Structure 1
Amino acid sequence: MAARFPFDNSYARLPPRFFARLDPTPVADPRLLRLNAPLAEQLGLDPAALAGAEGAAIFAGNRLPEGAEPIALAYAGHQFGHFVPQLGDGRAILLGEVVDREGRRRDIQLKGSGRTPFSRGGDGRAAFGPVLREYIVSEAMAALGVPTTRSLAAVATGEHVFREAALPGAVLTRVAASHLRVGSFQYFAARGDAEAVRLLADYAIARHEPEAASAANPYRAFLEGVARRQAALVAQWLQIGFIHGVMNTDNCAISGETIDYGPCAFMDAYDPKAVFSSIDSFGRYAYANQPRIAQWNLARLAETLLPLLAETEEAAVEVAQAALGDFATRFEALHRAGLLRKIGLAGDDPTDLELVQALLQRMAETGADFTLTFRRLCNAAAGPEGDAALRALFRDPAAYDSWAPAWRERLAAQPGGPRDRAAAMRATNPAVIPRNHQIEAVITAAVERDDLAPFEALLAATARPFEERPEIEPFMLPPREEERVLQTFCGT
């Protein structure tokens, strides 16, 4: 049975200057590495029809399904603080949009599908490593409850791409609420195309903020909605130790999803200054800097919307400042509540935040593993017998010993018993994350030995991240010294 995609392509109905129309570049020998069958079903697709050669051809870009209208989107962006007026989809092509079984509009995009007018001299291709990394991390983020783009399929191309060496090529099929970015608005604003900015804003409101259309100032309501989503997203990143690595404005999605998993990483030992991205030389996008950068990106979005916010520039600036003014307050409230949940506390006691900050400081000073510390804290909350395994994570166990009494005193004042409290903490502190050294091991096995078994094992382990199971114990362990990954790469 032929694969059918129920396309309804709204973005392709915008004016031609919003994108370039072109087909993906066919590849030599497409081979389906993995199909995300549950996601396919959510999208209204038939996994059985996509599991064979036809699916491989579609996800490689060799065959266009009926109704596809392939386009590469135009956008600009601030990259590490420097504005580039034209970026765009240099190695990605949007096949089209479907409305999923829950009524949500979703983009289906091929990443690594060949050159486009926005490639800027690049080859338009992707290698195995970055494709497998994005597949693993995006699906792990979804399992962790973090808004994210998703991975529908990965295909080997039978060709090589050339980076630091010749590497096997691949194509990722990415699913997103949309691919609208802050940089999408910057592209038209930089050209003085006020009509296009308005069209794009109206489109974004209809797709992501429909209630804003009836607000007294729809564009202010839209800006406020984007800011709310970004505040919530970055708070969740920090609570799981995630570092995006390249928070350029072209990687800041209007939808509030995590997008573009290039040099991303999860921390092992807690370090607020942690940087893994090989291209972030000055730590602009370090772990603790992410809230500040999100606010900076939102200010760049607000700049593009100024002509829509009020009749005069002065009045528009006031509206924008008011719309973004509560970002920090909202982020801090969400982050505080999330951190307190991680240590089993709820309420408004002002000393609770000091308590969790004291724990984080001790973790940083003694090299304690971020994920394991909070996970083992769940057992310690159930009773002192859980202390031994937790203390072992600190180079100086006295750092934990001096902190724990005040924490237990606060726990005693909380409603509920120790067992219920520990269960609630386990629902917010993951047992397993896709650690950098494990991802590297997966990539090495796939690239050097064409062995996808480690890839499948890591996917299975991170699919239910809050459940401890015997088979995931190896994936819970931090790296040994010789396994540590100090840098991650974007793969372009």
Structure 2
Amino acid sequence: MRYQNTYVNLDTRLYHEQPPTPLDNPRAGHFNTQVAQQLGWIEDKELMTNWVEIVSGQYVPASFKPLAMAYAGHQFGQWAGQLGDGRGLLMAQVLDNDDQPQDLHLKGVGLTPYSRMGDGRAVLRSTIREYLCGHALTKLGIPSSNALGFVVSDTRVRRERIETGAALMRVADSHIRLGHVEWIASFAPDLLDTFTDYMIDTYYPEYRDSDAPVAAFLTAVVERTARMIADWQLIGFAHGVMNTDNLSITGSTLDFGPFGFMERFNPAWINNHSDHTGRYAYQNQPAIGHWNLNVWLPHFMRLEGVTRETLADCLAPYEATFMQHYQQGLCRKLGLPHQRESLGLAFEWLTLLEDNLLDYTNSFRALLGLVAPADHPYEQKLLATMTTELSSDAQQVWQDWSARYLAQIEQLPLEQAVNDMQTNNPVYVLRNSMAQRAITAADQGQFEEVDRVFRLLANPYSVQDIANDLDSSAPAPDTPQVPISCSS
């Protein structure tokens, strides 16, 4: 691999250098060959031979520079003070095959100075969920951390009960969070100038020669965050815990805790059982993204030449960027051009889904069975299932809407409409029940289901032979989607 360990050269107040604390008797859980190829890991005999030992913390290659990062954050809207890598270590920074920086971050490898009340460990169930979700979002085309692989061990970890300890090698284009700047502003304000330069030079070098590089960088973070959250909304993904310490400066999805993919469509859905007020409900994610950025940006007023007006200009594109990306994507999901008539149909469609608690993923995909039934027998079955769930009144609404929708489609080149629908409406997302079946098997030492789900999610926009009916089955309409615990 092409190492570029630069974070370790920053001021030592920003991190704590330390080795991982090994897991006991580690065994392979799953290995992501494609990520390994992209990193150059697969070409290094030492890394390939010892990958289980490396991910379990038993062996640290000489080129790795493990350290725990300090950061702070606002959690559920309240200042939480110093946080930091409480169970993770930035092991190395590399350039991938596309010359893009990538962090190798090991999660679940013991206590750090930032562990607070934690034990520094990760459990198998949350490790599998993060591993599969990072993979799923990446293959859905949404910027996200991914993972090289995970291991399971004999280390026992206490949560609500005693569980199996595991570790994950997370790979992300950056592990710098909005909370890093919040930490600097509170505890080491003299570092803001050099740290801002580091963020620009490392992750946004194209703005270094700009007339106003700091403003260009901040605007880019705002716009990338808006697009990422629009992508979440379009695919029906809810992060569940959008604290400022869980948002990356690169606009890539980071930190998978109580996440979930929408099943029965309910915009007010809360997928985090600790979110008693619904702050991070699916429908609130765009507003929370704006809130987080609005908290983050004022810290840069400490820099020379950055004024309140500058920061207002940086934040201003958020709403327009989000709305344009979301509306364009929504129209593509229907195979329609981005125009007023299309948006009217799209929002009527979402209302139909909400009023009848229809499955979000299946219902969008089912429209291919309406538009091009001869070529889409699988989608025809989805369409038949969907329409049988409609009441007589809803049937009339559906008939009226589908007639007007088909009239719009008929004015367009059918091939283009079908292509847009196929490439923007997945057949498979990581449903909680799917992840749970993989976890249940893994608890018994069987990782074949993890591998099957991994392979299924590698091609989410195509119907696959390795799928079974449970992979795309929605819960009954009167069965609420179970919220997920933050415990991991």
TM-score band, normalised by shorter chain = over 0.9
Determine whether 1:379 maps to 2:369. Answer: yes
Tell me the secondary structure at the aligned position of residue 214 of structure 1. coil
- CA distance in 1: counterparts of 2:21 and 2:338, whole angstroms: 56
Query: For residue 467 of structure 1, what is the amino acid of its counterpart?
Result: S
The farther-off stretch of 288-297 and 467-476 is 467-476
Per the alignment, residue 409 of structure 2 pairs with: 411
Contact 2:30 2:447 in 1 (8 A): no
Contact 1:245 1:275 in 2 (8 A): yes
Per the alignment, residue 43 of structure 1 pairs with: 39
Aligned positions of 1:359-370 closer than 5 A: 359-370=349-360
Q: CA 1:220–1:51 in structure 2 vs 1: closer, same or farther (change >3 Å)?
A: closer
1:424 CA drift (Å): 2.5
Determine whether 1:308 maps to 2:303. Answer: yes
Query: For residue 242 of structure 1, what is the amino acid of its counterpart?
Result: F
Contact 1:7 1:98 in 2 (8 A): yes
Per the alignment, residue 402 of structure 1 pairs with: 400
Query: For residue 223 of structure 2, what is the amino acid of its counterpart?
Result: R
1:341 CA drift (Å): 0.5
Q: CA 1:48–1:451 in structure 2 vs 1: closer, same or farther (change >3 Å)?
A: farther
Contact 1:263 1:276 in 2 (8 A): yes
Contact 1:437 1:483 in 2 (8 A): no
Aligned positions of 1:100-111 closer than 5 A: 100-111=96-107
Per the alignment, residue 252 of structure 1 pairs with: 247
1:142-164 CA distance string (max 9 Å, x none): 11000000111101121110001
Contact 2:231 2:326 in 1 (8 A): yes
- CA distance in 2: counterparts of 1:400 and 1:47, whole angstroms: 55
1:40 CA drift (Å): 0.6
- CA distance in 2: counterparts of 1:71 and 1:322, whole angstroms: 36
1:453 CA drift (Å): 1.7
The farther-off stretch of 241-250 and 61-70 is 61-70
The farther-off stretch of 350-359 and 121-130 is 350-359
- CA distance in 2: counterparts of 1:309 and 1:173, whole angstroms: 39
Structure 2: tracts of 5 or more residues without a match: none
Per the alignment, residue 234 of structure 1 pairs with: 229
1:52 CA drift (Å): 7.1
Contact 1:91 1:113 in 2 (8 A): yes
Equivalent of residue 69 in structure 1, options 65, 83, 107: 65
- CA distance in 2: counterparts of 1:397 and 1:450, whole angstroms: 47
- CA distance in 1: counterparts of 2:321 and 2:46, whole angstroms: 43
Per the alignment, residue 162 of structure 1 pairs with: 158
Per the alignment, residue 211 of structure 1 pairs with: 206
Tell me the secondary structure at the aligned position of residue 410 of structure 1. helix
Aligned-residue CA RMSD (Å): 1.9
1:51 CA drift (Å): 8.4
Per the alignment, residue 356 of structure 1 pairs with: 346
Structure 1: tracts of 5 or more residues without a match: none
Contact 2:358 2:477 in 1 (8 A): no
Q: CA 1:63–1:363 in structure 2 vs 1: closer, same or farther (change >3 Å)?
A: same
Determine whether 1:466 maps to 2:461. Answer: yes
Q: CA 1:483–1:23 in structure 2 vs 1: closer, same or farther (change >3 Å)?
A: farther
1:378 CA drift (Å): 1.7
- CA distance in 2: counterparts of 1:47 and 1:477, whole angstroms: 40
Per the alignment, residue 490 of structure 1 pairs with: 486
Per the alignment, residue 14 of structure 2 pairs with: 18
- CA distance in 2: counterparts of 1:473 and 1:309, whole angstroms: 59
1:292 CA drift (Å): 0.5
Tell me the secondary structure at the aligned position of residue 156 of structure 2. strand
- CA distance in 2: counterparts of 1:364 and 1:297, whole angstroms: 28
Tell me the secondary structure at the aligned position of residue 114 of structure 1. coil
Query: For residue 403 of structure 1, what is the amino acid of its counterpart?
Result: W
Per the alignment, residue 392 of structure 1 pairs with: 388
Per the alignment, residue 313 of structure 2 pairs with: 322
Tell me the secondary structure at the aligned position of residue 471 of structure 1. coil
1:179 CA drift (Å): 0.4
Contact 2:358 2:386 in 1 (8 A): no
Equivalent of residue 440 in structure 1, options 429, 436, 439: 436
Equivalent of residue 187 in structure 1, options 177, 180, 183: 183
Instruction: Give the number of aligned pairs.
Output: 479
Per the alignment, residue 3 of structure 2 pairs with: 7
Give the TM-score, by structure 2 length: 0.94
Aligned positions of 1:254-273 closer than 5 A: 254-273=249-268
